[in-house]
A and B are shown apart, each in its own frame.
Chain A
Amino acid sequence: NAGVTQTPKFQVLKTGQSMTLQCAQDMNHNSMYWYRQDPGMGLRLIYYSASEGTTDKGEVPNGYNVSRLNKREFSLRLESAAPSQTSVYFCASTEGQGTNEQFFGPGTRLTVL
């Protein structure tokens, strides 16, 4: 049982390049999330998916797109990377909402030059 997995672990991009961050969970969870974490800012929600086939914007969605490919996978795409998107990106999943624990992946460290 791997939990939540993310690829890649590290990535360096040049301004304007595109890339997709992959996330998968094997816990049969309905809800999945993408956060970014910057020093002094805490985790901020980019997008979330309450169930397969649905996605909603979070606090900081500009510059990102997401795809809930199936129940297991939730990808985050940067179409034209900017230095302001340099951050650590975490994917998370939870069985439902409310008081359910969120399980996080190990993160992707992205640097945009």
Chain B
Amino acid sequence: RKEVEQDPGPFNVPEGATVAFNCTYSNSASQSFFWYRQDCRKEPKLLMSVYSSGNEDGRFTAQLNRASQYISLLIRDSKLSDSATYLCVVRFTGRRALTFGSGTRLQVQP
């Protein structure tokens, strides 16, 4: 079983829709949480960090539930430009490197 699991999708949604992705992690000794975005055939880029209290950046809201070991990303008012793969990323305690989920693909349609 992977340490960080995501629904691969694809999620096909119309412009303006609200879409949510979930991610679960298996190791409770976890330190930091992130969402990265990866466009087709491009490198991953940090979208946002995820804090215990939840955090928002414009149309994007990230939440963390440590007790249930899951992270969520909510995108409101989807734009065509939001089409990408969203990677859930965890830094587990004691490890120097990040652990990546395999990503959830989002396709926003006109």
Contact = CB atoms under 8 A, between A and B. Distances in A.
B96 A102 contact: no
Interface in B1-47: 2, 4, 8, 31-32, 34, 42-46
A104 B46 CA distance: 10
Contact of A98 (B4, B31, B102): B31
Given A40-B102, A42-B103, A104 B43 contact: yes
Given A48-B97, A50-B96, A106-B42, 17 more contacts: A33-B97, A40-B8, A42-B2, A42-B4, A42-B87, A56-B96, A90-B43, A90-B44, A97-B91, A98-B32, A98-B91, A99-B32, A99-B91, A101-B46, A105-B43, A107-B42, A107-B43
Interface of B: 2, 4, 8, 31-32, 34, 42-46, 49, 87, 91, 96-98, 100-103
Interface of A: 31, 33, 35, 40-45, 48, 50, 56, 58, 90, 97-99, 101-102, 104-107
